[in-house]
Structure 1
Amino acid sequence: MTVPEGRWFKSSFSANTDNCVEFRRVEGGVEVRNSKRPNDAIIRYTDSEWKAFILGVKNGEFDI
């Protein structure tokens, strides 16, 4: 899936709840926010930081 810039997305596993982290593509990276508090702080990651995080998730490094 190619994610377009500017639109907020959340995991399909969050169903119809606002209890989730959302992300959006921006030029040169990704922004992340708490969907329960969309007007609070947004955290920005570079493309390389985001790719490293996603690879760690896929590798099971963050399993609870």
Structure 2
Amino acid sequence: MTEADDRELRARKERERDELYALDISGVEWHCAPGTEEHEERVEIAYLPGGAVAMRSSLDPDTVLRYTEAEWRAFVLGARDGEFDLTPMPHNGGSAAE
């Protein structure tokens, strides 16, 4: 990738992020894991146009992170693959002895 291509890619991603954060999400439906109680701390997500996703903590609903479809897909696939496991395993960078 050339330096010009890299700059163009960064500019496109910045535009996507700006558009994503400009969306009015005041009326979105928030979802959480089944079985969680209303008063429990939990992660909530909302599906946005174009495959994007918003995520927040139930304890701090005013702080909302937004992810493009590609970012969300990469996160979900990484989570499924164990990239974010608390205990490193051989398949996610840990050694077999751990």
Note whether the superposition's TM-score is higher than 0.5.
Answer: yes
Distance 1:12 1:48 in 2: 25
- Residue 50 of structure 1 is aligned with which of 50, 68, 72? 72
Residue 22 in structure 1 maps to residue 14 in structure 2 = no
Q: Which runs of 5+ in 1 are unaligned?
A: 1-5
RMSD value over aligned CA atoms?
1.4
- Residue 54 of structure 2 is aligned with which of 31, 34, 51? 31
Q: Which amino acid aligns with 1:27?
A: P
Cα deviation for residue 7 of structure 1 reads 1.2
Moved over 4 A (4+): none
Structure with larger RCO (C-alpha < 8 A, sep 6+): 1
| 1:3 corresponds to | none
Q: Which amino acid aligns with 1:36?
A: L
Q: TM-score, normalised by structure 1?
A: 0.78
Residue 9 in structure 1 maps to residue 43 in structure 2 = no
SS at match of 1:24: strand
The structure with the greater share of residues assigned to helix is 2
The structure with the greater share of residues assigned to strand is 1
Percent identity over the alignment?
Answer: 39
Cα deviation for residue 12 of structure 1 reads 2.1
Q: TM-score, normalised by structure 2?
A: 0.53
Deviations 1:9-63 (A, max 9, x none): 11126x214301100001120001111121x221110001001000001101101
Distance 1:37 1:10 in 2: 14
